Amino acid sequence: MDRRDFLRTTMLAGAAMTLAPRATSAADARVDVLLDEPIARIDPNVYGHFVEHLGGVVYDGIWVGEGSRIPNTGGIRQAIVDHMRHLPKGVIRWPGGCFADSYDWRDGIGPREARPRRTNFWTPEMAARPDGPWKYDPNHFGTNEFVRFVRLCGGEPYLAANLRSLPARDFYQWVEYANSPAGSTTLAEMRAKGGSAEPLRVRFWGVGNESWGCGGNLTADEYAVEYRKFTAWLPTYGEPLSFIGSGPNGNDLSWTRRFFTTLTAKGEGALNSIWGWALHHYTWNASRGATTDWNAGKGDALVYTTDEWYEILAQAAFIETLITGHWAVMGEIDRRHRVKIVVDEWGTWHKPGTEIHPSHHLGQQSTIRDALVAALTLDTFHRHADKVAMANIAQLVNCLQSLFLTDGERFLLTPTYHVFALYAPHAGGEAVRTQLGAPRIGYDRVNDRGSVAGLAGSASVRDRTVTLTLVNPHATDATDATITLRGGRAASARAVTIAAGEIHAHNTFDRPAVVAPSAESAVPVGPGASFTHRLPPASVTRLTVALG
């Protein structure tokens, strides 16, 4: 154990002694599930993922190579595929992110040994040095390999096109490479040489990424013109094409308004060219303030106070403001709301220092705090199922709020993975309105006071079964929640909980099950429409209720 690990272990031990949960309940809470007030179907694509050529996401994460002693299918790490099959079959986005707007898709096709090596400016060996040294991408993992990985997982591919440094012609030729019939074009023949004679049938295409910044530093009006150019005409080859526009920097409502205004300058028919509008939301301790240091506001992934615990949860909840705000602005032009919201990057972003391996740029550990962020965010998507059609947590493995951590042959599931698995029954169900009541929890920010909701959650219905997920954010106290089904009665109920008893708890290669779901247990419901269930502190609970 090196000095940093020793200090961290010592601090966590002290935190465990001072933050042990009390036996008393913080407060009573109420949950009303309004069975007769449906919102919309929860699209499994809100359980989507993000794969970018950053650090250890692709190389050492997903791609290990055919000759590796690590179990693999055609070079793809088998453990990731096996565990992804237990999750909702959502989309997976690739190759970026900022990497997408410096990527030439032609570099990743054809015989692997003949592919060029390119500088990857988005994965420096030492992030603190802006001049490098830089990593080099061998392009062993390209379009064919990515789509094969997605299909092995049971999902759908979502490709992000390079708008900053490639012309529109390269975009429609990438569509041709992916979707043209077998043997029909030269590009289809090139695809076959890469191992995929049949069309890849890619439906979802992102037109650039963060075009206000790394994707071109454009204004909203400039981007709208480029978007029209890129989507003016593309062959479909019998496959529906769904284009996703590059949305604003955070809560910049003016970017959304200007884009839709300029997009429709030649008529509202242009709205038919856009299926989704992308929002990005990363969570960190915003009250630390902003400086020229891009890590300002980002705290340690493992060492934090209870105030920092609550600040992260409050920042995660801000995604609701982004969704409702941009949805309202979109509706000023798109009055029929044909265009849906796509949150294709979201998750926690902590400062460097807890990555599993030095080469895992933007890698970080994942604790029970990250699990609650995932649960709060997914519950928000459910409550706005009429608005949010897709979302992609950043990222799948070894980067930011990942579901998996790897280091060579070593592999583990993070608390975030367990939340995705716990919430899986929601996917495809009908979201119904849910009213939650509990005292807000106050905490100290750097220069003021903050508060976070004392209870969060969502509900969905399918086949006479209600799936209700609840988050108790209180760091030390349990909550007794009285659950009432308005418009129905519970015949039986069962519960599964993710809780750790300590707010810094996380999984390691040596102790991989510190944070994991409990065994499912029966919940007494009684003869009425209401029943009570205790939610442990710092926990995520799924209740499965059979309707009588």
Q: How far apart are CA 347 and CA 282, in angstroms?
A: 5
Residues 441, 29: contact at Cβ < 8 Å?
no
Q: How is residue 75 written in tokens?
A: 């070079």
**What b/e sequence results for 122-145 when a residue is b if at least 16 CB atoms lie within 10 Å of its CB, and e otherwise?**
bbbeeeeeeeeeebebbbbbbbbb
User: What one-character-per-residue DSSP string does 60-80 give?
Assistant: TTTB--TT-SS-EETTEEHHH
Catalytic residue among 156, 311, 345, 502: 345
Q: How many whole angstroms from its chain centre is CA 110?
A: 31
Q: Which amino acid is at 265?
A: A
Q: How far apart are CA 3 and CA 6, in angstroms?
A: 5
Q: Which amino acid is at 12?
A: L
Q: Which residue has the tokens 């789509």?
A: 147
Residues 57, 135: contact at Cβ < 8 Å?
no
Helix axes 319-333, 368-383, angle to 10 degrees: 30
Phi-psi domain of 81 (left: phi exceeds 0; alpha: psi -120 through 50; beta: other): alpha
Please say if 210 is a catalytic residue.
yes
The pairing of beta strand 340-348 with beta strand 388-393: parallel
Q: How far apart are CA 310 and CA 15, in angstroms?
A: 15
Q: How is residue 186 written in tokens?
A: 């030269």
Catalytic residue among 176, 210, 226, 355: 210
3-state secondary structure at position 427: coil
* Closest residue by Cα to residue 274 from 212, 343, 340: 340
Q: Which residues does the annotation mark as catalytic?
A: 210, 345
